[in-house]
């Protein structure tokens, strides 16, 4: 068990640092190419922080652990709200107007609805993956064409931009570190837990693997809020949840069909977390310690029940 925990921690560090390089490179490249600052939070940064889910999912699928794939995505989406935004909001007050993020929330709900329909036969096939990708590309195009929807108030304007070749090197280095971090995390950390202790693939995917792949969102949110970059932090979370379903699951399903068990409850629970976040932001124009505590305690309860059973 100690060796598994060691590799989980080591793999998580690889996921974190790999994502940091990837995010930095992507942001620098976006600035160099004059991509709007208002779009970066919900697109470039979110793609970077969702990359661990994609790498972990592909590796898991190729090794036959398909329950890790769906469990990781749904678990990560819950962790992004309950942990990656709930925990930092306990220390940093988040002031945000819901009208600035209506479109991303709508796309998030649409992604969940599509996934709900697709998993009714317990498999996500290539044709369904194409449908998810279609909505994903519509979302990306809409984000770039209507940047006012995803306004982050020019939070990245003052960042120094490095040359294109350095940006590409950061992206390459980040991708490489992410890959090997994912291998350590899955092969030497998560899989032994399943084999040695009899935990279900779904439970491990929903909790341990999901937390590991949500570390980039957590650290990005903490750093963004410490710099009062609220738009980037919240945009990163909502954008990542959209990418996890519309891009990560779709990409993996194009390579190999994703077999799933009954994850309807977890999917609906994720929708519940999303609607709660929307309601809290609408109610108090952001998140305070009370609403953040509710999200965080809800996530702790979710973790407990994953291992000890639902009612």
Q: What is the bridge-based pairing of β-strands 258-259 and 123-124?
A: antiparallel
CA dihedral 301, 273, 19, 254 (to 10 degrees): 110
300 contacts: CB under 8 Å, gap ≥ 6? 82
- Asked whether the CA dihedral 200, 83, 175, 255 is positive or negative, the reply is positive
User: pTM, whole model, 2 decimals?
Assistant: 0.80
Q: In this prediction, what percent of the chain has a pLDDT beyond 90?
A: 29
Q: Given CA atoms 246, 252, 255, 260 in this order, what sign does their dihedral have?
A: negative
Domain 2-308 has CATH 1.20.1420.30: yes
Return the residue matching tokens 């940091």.
20
For the segment 224-249, what is each residue's pLDDT rounded down to a tens digit?
777 676 766 777 788 889 999 999 99
Query: What are the structural domain ranges in the chain?
Result: 2-308
Q: What is the mean pLDDT of each run of 10 residues along the chain (311 residues)?
A: 80 79 74 64 73 82 82 90 92 78 88 95 94 93 64 48 79 80 76 72 78 78 74 78 93 91 90 94 88 94 80 45
Q: Identify the helix (H) or strand (E) that includes residue 80.
A: helix 66-82
Look at residue 159 and give its three-state secondary structure: coil
Q: Strand pairing partners for 75?
A: none
């Amino acid at each position: 068990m100690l060796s598994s925990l060691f590799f989980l921690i080591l793999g998580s560090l690889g996921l974190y640092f790999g994502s940091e390089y990837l995010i930095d490179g992507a942001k620098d490249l976006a600035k160099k190419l004059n991509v709007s600052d208002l779009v970066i939070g919900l697109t470039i940064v979110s793609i970077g922080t969702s990359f661990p889910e994609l790498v972990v999912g592909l590796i898991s699928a190729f090794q036959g652990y398909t329950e890790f794939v769906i469990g990781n995505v749904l678990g990560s989406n819950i962790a992004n709200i309950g942990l990656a935004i709930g925990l930092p909001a306990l220390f940093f007050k988040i002031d945000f107007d819901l009208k600035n993020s209506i479109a991303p929330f709508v796309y998030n709900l649409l992604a969940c609805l599509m996934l709900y329909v697709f998993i009714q036969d317990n498999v996500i096939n290539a044709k369904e993956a194409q449908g998810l990708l279609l909505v994903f590309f519509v979302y990306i195009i809409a984000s770039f064409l209507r940047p006012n929807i995803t306004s982050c108030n020019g939070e990245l304007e003052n960042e120094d931009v490095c040359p294109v070749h350095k940006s590409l090197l950061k992206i390459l280095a980040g991708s490489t570190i992410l890959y090997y971090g994912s291998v350590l995390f899955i092969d030497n950390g998560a899989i032994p837990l399943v084999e040695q202790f009899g935990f279900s693939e779904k439970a491990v995917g929903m909790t341990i693997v999901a937390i590991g792949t949500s570390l980039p969102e957590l650290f990005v949110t903490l750093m963004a809020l410490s710099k009062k970059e609220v738009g980037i932090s919240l945009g990163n979370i909502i954008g990542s949840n959209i990418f996890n379903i519309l891009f990560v699951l779709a990409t993996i399903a194009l390579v190999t069909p994703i077999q799933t068990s009954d994850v309807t409850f977890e999917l609906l629970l994720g929708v519940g977390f999303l609607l709660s976040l929307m309601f809290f932001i609408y109610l108090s124009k952001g998140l305070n310690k009370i609403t953040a505590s509710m999200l965080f305690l809800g996530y702790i309860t979710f973790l407990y029940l994953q291992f000890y059973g639902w009612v």
